[in-house]
Amino acid sequence: MTVRISDHVRIMAGTEGPPGRCVALEGQIGCHVTCRIYEQRGSQCREFNPTTDEGEPNEACDKARRAYGLAPLTTPQPGKKR
């Protein structure tokens, strides 16, 4: 389920280039998806959150959603710069 990038780095197959759909992702993006290996998922997935530690929207999450034609999960707070 992984692709070797270097002697010490592996990534999930399907994420090595656009469109970037992980082989462990099941379902239809935008409708319902689930991770087949959620309990064993890699650090990249465990550490990725829709918001920053400060509660601000995560631009990387919003960018990934835009790539699939989805609206951001998070919305900026009034008066906050985005």
| pLDDT score at 76 | 58
Omega of the bond leading into 78 within 30 degrees of 0 (cis)? no
C-alpha to C-alpha distance for 56 and 52, rounded to whole angstroms: 5
| pLDDT score at 51 | 86
C-alpha to C-alpha distance for 82 and 23, rounded to whole angstroms: 32
pTM summary value:
0.70
72 pLDDT more than 70: yes
For the chain, the structural domain boundaries read 2-67
| pLDDT score at 77 | 58
Closest among 54, 36, 32 to 45, alpha carbons compared: 36
Tens-place pLDDT, residues 5-54:
999 999 999 998 887 889 999 999 889 999 999 999 988 899 998 888 88
Residue 42: how many other CB atoms lie within 10 Å: 16
| pLDDT score at 80 | 54
